[in-house]
Structure 1
Amino acid sequence: MNKFIILCILVMGSILSANAQTDTIIKEIAQKWANAKDYTLKTIEAMPEDKFGFRPMNEEMTFSEQITHISGNMLWLSSSHLTKTKPSITKESFTGKSKKEILDLLNQSFDFVQEAFQNLNETDLNTQVELFGKPVSKRQIVWLIHDHLTHHRGQLAVYLRLNNIKPPQYIGW
């Protein structure tokens, strides 16, 4: 009987520990996403509105197209693989908009993804989904969203530098 009680205590301790780790992971994802949002919006705010059409080479996206691409990718990945909710924002939402309107739309896009992240749990993070014909976990989708954002935000920093504008100070953890 004593061995059974000890086993039950060990199992419960493991379950509680796993739940605490999941809570920590979700909180870390949310914190990192909030910082990424802040840094991205500051990066975009640094570019004057009259330079939103700037592209370093003909085959590159304009500054504004980069923003639309960032939003479209994170909304697609999160709504297709992390949540059943569909965003009200589309790529077309950005067409013909002012800098202020673009920043507002991007802000809403970040908030949509943040909500999708916050609604995840351990089971969700480990759930397999299909991406380009390959099975990946939702955890990998979360990292892909972050990685894609970082990649394109880095390009925005180069666009700023090419226009003699110093990018904002990096915001990490």
Structure 2
Amino acid sequence: SFGQLMVHIAAQNSDSCASATGTKVPPSMPSSSGEVPALDKQTAIKLLTLSFDTCAKELDAMPPEQWNKEVYKFRGQPVLASEALWYTFTHTAHHRGQAEVYLRMKNIKPPAWRF
């Protein structure tokens, strides 16, 4: 569902940001792995807001040397904090595109945005 897509964006954003910054995912955030729970609109909005606000705060506090630090491995290859954050950006952009197509199919004009 559209709501599950929004919750997925919030959960994955929180997970990747926490990995990159060396912090923890907010306790109220659903897991980014496994099935995404179906939640009501207000909860999905709260989770998206929490995810982006928390990540922005963590990035502000992140020391410069963290950007080039290995934060996890993907298929045996090291992933730096900067790469994890780039993944987060492209992941969110990908799913925003999906959300816009969904809205247009329902004859709803997506909100304007500026890059």
- TM-score after normalising by structure 2: 0.82
| 1:20-35 matches, cutoff 5 A | none
Q: Show CA shifts across 1:2-59 (max 9, x none).
A: xxxxxxxxxxxxxxxxxxxxxxxxxxxxxxxxxxxxxxxxxxxxxxxxxxxxxxxxxx
Task: Report the structure number with the largest CA radius of gyration.
Answer: 1
SS state of the match for residue 103, structure 1? helix
Q: Which has the higher helix share?
A: 1
Q: Which residue is equivalent to 1:82?
A: 21
How many Å apart are 1:68 and its aligned residue? 1.5
Count of aligned pairs = 110
2:68 to 119, 126, 129: 126
The two structures, once aligned, show a CA RMSD in angstroms of 1.9
Matched-pair contact (CA < 8 Å) for 2:3–2:40 = no
Q: Which residue is equivalent to 1:168?
A: 111
SS state of the match for residue 161, structure 1? helix
Unaligned runs of 5+ in 2: none
Matched-pair contact (CA < 8 Å) for 1:89–1:109 = no
In structure 2, distance between residues paired with 1:136 and 1:121: 17
In structure 2, distance between residues paired with 1:155 and 1:97: 19
- Which stretches of structure 1, 4 residues or more, deviate above 3 A after TM superposition? 94-97
Identity %, equivalent residues: 30
